[in-house]
Amino acid sequence: MNDNIKPQQCKVVNALDTLLGKWKPIILQHLLAEGTLRFNELRKRMPNITQRMLTLHLRELEEQDLINRVVYPQVPPKVEYSLTEYGKTIEPLMEALHQWGKSHLQHIENVKKSDLTKDEGNKEASIH
Amino acid sequence: MNDNIKPQQCKVVNALDTLLGKWKPIILQHLLAEGTLRFNELRKRMPNITQRMLTLHLRELEEQDLINRVVYPQVPPKVEYSLTEYGKTIEPLMEALHQWGKSHLQHIENVKKSDLTKDEGNKEASIH
DNA sequence: CTGGATCCTTCACGATACTG
DNA sequence: CAGTATCGTGAAGGATCCAG
């Protein structure tokens, strides 16, 4: 729609869009960590998610070819979710996000502390 | 409270939270690319953003210590925004997101194409 | 057990007008 | 020029019930 926007940006936004949704990163982390999980196993690992949201987000991840959905035609139903081979390529990205998120928390802590000791808040440029 | 949830997840979510908001990644990209920009310069580079959202997101980024806001006490007002030294640490992360987003678009393209040629859609597990 | 269908709430974002 | 103040909207998410 707009060429003023650097190509770079679009792709970053795109990455974020496909990884987002309140629960997607968490679902992906669980599948990364544990391989294959059934619907209810995932649910137990995310006590605050509703069935609806779990279903919706799993469908979206499947559509992005990030996860496999395997239905065992039996009763009671059994459905297993796992990362696709392609889906596993997000691991380094998740790791990078994790590292940055971790150090960011640390950084914000430090900033708050030094705000208490040091007189801060004079960010106006001086005019000479 | 819940040890089933891997520590990793929390931090990923945290990273995403502080980088998110519809316009934050774009603002950051512009500042990464161009160094220092005035309010209106940023606005021109994002034709679809409203003043309100630009202001809000800049404030939030400032609060996260990712950008500097320098007010020149003059009339008409002049305010310059730039990344903090700390803010520049997001560059590798943005690059990683960009690369993944790019290859993801590619991948989705390929998947769609092979869905057309190959008969796909039989993902039920066989029962022997 | 998995998950569809409905209804409801909230909040991020947008549109617009005003101001030092 | 660089904001603030208000009001409105839609879409994401939550709660709940039903079904194969």
Contact A6 B16 (CB under 8 A): no
Q: What is the pLDDT of residue A7?
A: 53
List pLDDT tens digits, range B97-118.
999 999 999 999 898 788 777 6
Q: Residue B116: its pLDDT value, please?
A: 75
Higher pLDDT, A83 or B127: A83
Domain ranges of chain B: 1-88, 90-128
How much is the pTM?
0.88
A78 touches strand C (CB under 7 A): yes
Between A3 and A52, name the one with better pLDDT.
A52
CA distance B90 to B83: 10
CA of B117 to C1' of C10 (A): 44
The third-level CATH classification (topology) of the domain covering A1-88 is: Arc Repressor Mutant, subunit A (1.10.10)
Please list every residue in chain B whose beta carbon sits closer than 8 Å to the beta carbon of residue A13.
25-26, 101
A23-78 tens-digit pLDDT = 999 999 999 999 999 999 999 999 999 999 999 999 999 999 999 999 999 999 99
> Per-residue pLDDT for B12 more than 50?
yes
Q: What is the pLDDT of residues B31-69, one digit of tens each?
A: 999 999 999 999 999 999 999 999 999 999 999 999 999
Tell me the chain A residues in contact with residue B104 when contact means C-beta distances shorter than 8 Å: 14-15, 18, 64
Which residue among A14, A26, A90 sits closest to B105, beta carbon to beta carbon?
A14
Which amino acid does the sequence have at A61?
Answer: L
The minimal CB distance from B123 to the residues A12, A71, A86 is found for A71
Residues B31 and B83: beta-carbon distance below 8 Å: yes
Write out the H or E segment, with its range, that includes residue A120: none
Contact by Cβ (8 Å): B35, B91? no
State pLDDT tens for residues A89-128: 999 999 999 999 999 999 998 987 887 776 655 566 655 5
